[in-house]
Amino acid sequence: MSLTSIITVNYNQPQVTLEFLKSVLRSTKKDYIEVILVDNGSYINHEDTFKKVYPELIYIRSEKNLGFAGGNNLGIQVAKGDFLLFLNNDTELVENFINTLIIEFEKNPDIGLLSPLIVYYEDKSKIQYAGYTNMNYLTARNKDLGNKEININQYNKSYETGYIHGAAMMCRRKDLQKTGLMEENYFLYYEELDWCEKFKKTGKKIWFTGKTKIYHKESISVGRDSDLKTYFMHRNRMLYIRRNTNLLNTLLFSTYYIGISCPKSIIKYYLNGRKDLIPWVIKAITWNLTNSKDSTSLGYNLNN
- Predicted confidence pLDDT, tens digits, the chain (304 residues): 789 999 999 999 999 999 999 999 999 888 899 999 999 989 999 999 999 999 999 999 999 999 999 999 999 999 999 999 999 999 999 999 999 999 999 999 999 999 999 999 999 999 999 999 999 999 999 999 999 999 999 999 999 999 999 999 999 999 999 999 999 999 999 999 999 999 999 999 999 999 999 999 975 444 568 999 999 999 999 999 999 999 999 999 999 999 999 999 999 999 999 999 999 999 999 999 999 999 999 999 887 6
Q: Parallel, antiparallel, or unpaired: how do β-strands 158-160 and 205-216 relate?
A: antiparallel
Counting runs of H as helices and runs of E as strands, what totals does the chain give?
10, 10
Q: Tell me the CATH number at 157.
A: 3.90.550.10
- pLDDT of the residue at 225: 80
- pLDDT of the residue at 221: 45
222 in any annotated domain: no
In angstroms, what CA-CA distances link 287 with 134, 182, 200, 240, 298? 26, 20, 28, 13, 8
If asked whether residues 161 and 276 sit together in one domain, one would say no
Specify the amino acid at residue 146: G
Q: Which of 193, 216, 239 is the last residue of a domain?
A: 216
Instruction: Tell me which H or E stretch contains 279.
Output: helix 278-290
Instruction: Residue 136: give the domain boundaries.
Output: 4-216
If asked whether residues 154 and 236 sit together in one domain, one would say no
- pLDDT of the residue at 76: 97
- pLDDT of the residue at 303: 74
If asked whether residues 128 and 267 sit together in one domain, one would say no
**Alpha-carbon span 112 to 206, nearest angstrom:** 6
Q: Which of 169, 186, 216 is the last residue of a domain?
A: 216
Residue 57, phi-psi category: left (phi > 0), alpha (psi -120 to 50), beta (remainder) = beta
pTM: 0.93
Q: What angle do CA 206, 211, 214 make, to 5 degrees?
A: 85
In angstroms, what CA-CA distances link 46 with 7, 12, 13, 15, 53? 17, 9, 10, 10, 11
303 in any annotated domain: no
Domains in the chain: how many in total?
2
**Alpha-carbon span 54 to 282, nearest angstrom:** 44
Specify the amino acid at residue 188: L
Alpha-carbon torsion (224, 71, 144, 22), positive or negative: negative
299 in any annotated domain: no
If asked whether residues 279 and 236 sit together in one domain, one would say yes
If asked whether residues 121 and 13 sit together in one domain, one would say yes
**Is the separation of the CB atoms in 7 and 76 below 8 Å?**
yes
**Alpha-carbon span 78 to 201, nearest angstrom:** 26
